[in-house]
Structure 1
Amino acid sequence: MATGALTPPQTEMAPPEVLIEFPDNRLLIDLCGEYDRNLADIEQKLGVQIVRRGNRLSILGDEDSQKQAADVLQSLYERLEAGREVETGDIDRELRMGGSDAGTGVRDGDQLEMFKGVAVEIKTRKKLVEPRTEAQKAYVQSLFANELAFGIGPAGTGKTYLAVAVGVSMFLGGHVDRIILSRPAVEAGERLGFLPGDMKDKVDPYMQPLYDALNDFLPGKQLAKLIEEKRIEIAPLAFMRGRTLANAFVVLDEAQNATSMQMKMFLTRLGEGSRMVITGDRTQIDLPRGVPSGLADAERLLKAIPKISFNYFTSKDVVRHPLVAAIIEAYEADGPVG
């Protein structure tokens, strides 16, 4: 029996390393993070190995992961070059960016192309606020450009925070005379029972997220003085009936918990020289069973009206703890709750 020479097993060649050079060594140190924790985060999430060699980073791994890691590192370095910091949330955002927005029928590229690469900043007394995702940039642009804007998406995407920041910025710039923030006073699936105190004491627990946002943008004493002078008002939705809100920046938060009648009442409060922002999350409706959400009705009825903008967010736009995005995606995959 003839025997042939043994053929060595074929081994798949590993892709060559990808080298990226960063000219500013000081910024490279910030990019890597303390004890290289930023690099470790990217390595863990993309399954690559990143090795620092002088002012260059070498990326080892499969070709797709190498390219994604290189794109993330380049974007974060450009952020540092622009004088901004790099935090864990920024890394997570860069890893999650791209693709289509499932559930909205709107692709990132279609909705946001005109805003790509545009620096958007909101100046307040205490801090400079910067939208972190392309959807947030488009949202902020629409708040400045439109008299009535909707922000719809899951918790943690910055809908209310950015709206309040824009309101404070426009107030400080003299574009409006007042800021009015409102929410429906609806219990989130639990009965709180009798609340002691006067009317303010009873409704303040519902309004606390709005106070939290304002405290981020205005010094405490100035905020207290503006509230005392009623140049900043925080009130339940029911208190808006019968008013005409002129020369004001008006925000309705948690709008999914407004009934259709309440939503119509609120929208028709819009007065001369005012801007109005409606924010809500269609997955967190706390209205009694069988009561339709006014947010859904407004979305259906008003989409065709010019100068009313609708801005949508997904889990890719979450800027809280990275786990929040994973939690939202898990619930979305499981279908509607209840």
Structure 2
Amino acid sequence: MAIGALTPPLSESAPRGVRIDFPDNRLLIDLCGEFDRNLADVEQKLGVQIIRVGNALAIHGEDGAMERAAHVLQALYQRLEAGKSVEAGDIDREIRMNTVEEEETSGDQLEMFQGGTIEIKTRKKLVEPRTDAQKAYVQSLYENELAFGIGPAGTGKTYLAVAVGVNMFIQGHVDKIILCRPAVEAGERLGFLPGTQEEKVDPYMQPLYDALNDFLPGKQLQKLREEKQIEIAPLAFMRGRTLANAFVVLDEAQNATAMQMKMFLTRLGEGSRMVITGDRSQVDLPRGVPSGLADAERLLKSIPKISFNYFTAKDVVRHPLVAAIIEAYEADETA
């Protein structure tokens, strides 16, 4: 695969550009996608024009945009050479990871992980961070026994934490996975739910089930739950326990009170990893009750070996409108 200036130009009126030659025409077809939709995606997001010429792609546009597009296309082609597929999420990730904005990289942590790839292997899929902040977060989950992920919805805080937990469980680094959330209603009074204790709390735990179903086959997940190797429970059920040799995730931690947060943090046992995720803008606690997440951030930030990882609207990996909605609300709060 070679990259160079476009010589000669496609026409006398064509702007200057770069040309990338791809040795395997079959992989180039996969790179372009059905009806060249992958190329159209790169064009739209980076503001360039990409033209296929035989076994090469000619890129036209501003210098910086052309360079970024070339790096993105090369990275996607290398995925195909490694036997991986190229989906819309892969294109989005490569574009994000090839965007280096100094003001968005906070602290030494992100600088350590520029370049290279991080892959989280689970039973059902391979998970890869799609932004530099996600990459640093995943790295911190492997390096620290206690890690915090703080930021808006849709930034992958819980999803990546559960993926790492499943990976560490599969590799035998932990004996069980414990996922919990505060059972706090999000602004609605749902009343008394029918059923057993488990059936009553299941609606609150559904996001955690969704993540696990992405990483483990259904029958295996059911068996692991029956054997208590995977537990999903409300935060209140953690009182009095010592969680040893476990990967523990507290989701929606902004809805834990200060007392609950202290109780949960002190459950950490030998050989365990603990991840706390939350969004400071979505506190559903009663008025006047302080969030345990903010309290823990204030008290623990200076303690070594406890990592705090922050996300912004630019790290949202859901629908593009989600990032715009978050930014609109943040702008209104600071106005």
Per the shorter chain, which TM-score range? 0.7 to 0.9
Q: For 1:211 and 1:225, how far apart are their aligned partners in 2?
A: 14
After superposition, what is the alpha-carbon deviation per residue over 1:231-258, rounded to whole angstroms, capped at 9, x for unaligned?
Answer: 2111101111111111111110011111
Q: For 1:117 and 1:100, how far apart are their aligned partners in 2?
A: 15
1:108–1:19 distance in 2 versus 1, CA, 3 Å: farther
Q: Point out where structure 1 has 5 or more consecutive residues left out of the alignment.
A: 1-12
Task: Give the match for residue 33 of structure 2.
Answer: 33
Q: Is the 8 A contact 1:143 1:166 kept in 2?
A: yes
After superposition, what is the alpha-carbon deviation per residue over 1:192-233, rounded to whole angstroms, capped at 9, x for unaligned?
Answer: 222111211111000011111111222222211221222211
How far did 1:37 drift?
A: 0.7
Output aligned runs, 1:1-338, within 5 Å. Answer: 15-96=15-96, 97-100=99-102, 107=105, 110-335=108-333
Q: For 1:124 and 1:153, how far apart are their aligned partners in 2?
A: 25
Q: For 1:64 and 1:222, how far apart are their aligned partners in 2?
A: 48
CA RMSD of aligned residues (A): 2.3
Q: For 1:66 and 1:274, how far apart are their aligned partners in 2?
A: 46
After superposition, what is the alpha-carbon deviation per residue over 1:286-337, rounded to whole angstroms, capped at 9, x for unaligned?
Answer: 1122222111111111111111111122233222233333333333333369
Q: For 2:176 and 2:42, how far apart are their aligned partners in 1?
A: 44
Question: TM-score w.r.t. structure 2 length?
Answer: 0.88
Q: For 1:98 and 1:82, how far apart are their aligned partners in 2?
A: 25
Structure 1 stretch displaced more, 307-316 or 320-329: 320-329
Q: Is the 8 A contact 1:15 1:62 kept in 2?
A: no
Q: For 2:303 and 2:226, how far apart are their aligned partners in 1?
A: 37
- One-letter amino acid matched to 1:23: P
1:323–1:27 distance in 2 versus 1, CA, 3 Å: farther
Q: For 1:86 and 1:119, how far apart are their aligned partners in 2?
A: 15
Q: For 1:61 and 1:118, how far apart are their aligned partners in 2?
A: 27
Q: Is the 8 A contact 2:253 2:292 kept in 1?
A: yes
Task: Give the match for residue 6 of structure 1.
Answer: none
After superposition, what is the alpha-carbon deviation per residue over 1:55-112, rounded to whole angstroms, capped at 9, x for unaligned?
Answer: 221222344433343333233333333433322233334444321466xxxx258322
Q: Is the 8 A contact 1:203 1:236 kept in 2?
A: yes
After superposition, what is the alpha-carbon deviation per residue over 1:150-188, rounded to whole angstroms, capped at 9, x for unaligned?
Answer: 111222222111111221222222222221110011111
Identical-residue share of aligned pairs (%): 81
Q: Is the 8 A contact 2:181 2:204 kept in 1?
A: yes
Larger Rg: 1
1:133–1:115 distance in 2 versus 1, CA, 3 Å: same
Q: How many residues align?
A: 321
Q: Is the 8 A contact 1:50 1:60 kept in 2?
A: yes
Q: For 1:25 and 1:326, how far apart are their aligned partners in 2?
A: 38
1:68–1:117 distance in 2 versus 1, CA, 3 Å: closer
How far did 1:147 drift?
A: 0.9
After superposition, what is the alpha-carbon deviation per residue over 1:7-40, rounded to whole angstroms, capped at 9, x for unaligned?
Answer: xxxxxx9841222222332222222111001111
1:113–1:264 distance in 2 versus 1, CA, 3 Å: same
- One-letter amino acid matched to 1:300: R
SS at structure 1 position matched to 2:180:
strand
Of structures 1 and 2, the one with the larger relative CO (CA 8 A, separation 6+) is 1
1:162–1:35 distance in 2 versus 1, CA, 3 Å: same
Question: TM-score w.r.t. structure 1 length?
Answer: 0.87
Q: For 1:292 and 1:321, how far apart are their aligned partners in 2?
A: 31
- One-letter amino acid matched to 2:156: G
Q: Point out where structure 2 has 5 or more consecutive residues left out of the alignment.
A: 1-12
Q: For 2:91 and 2:326, how far apart are their aligned partners in 1?
A: 18
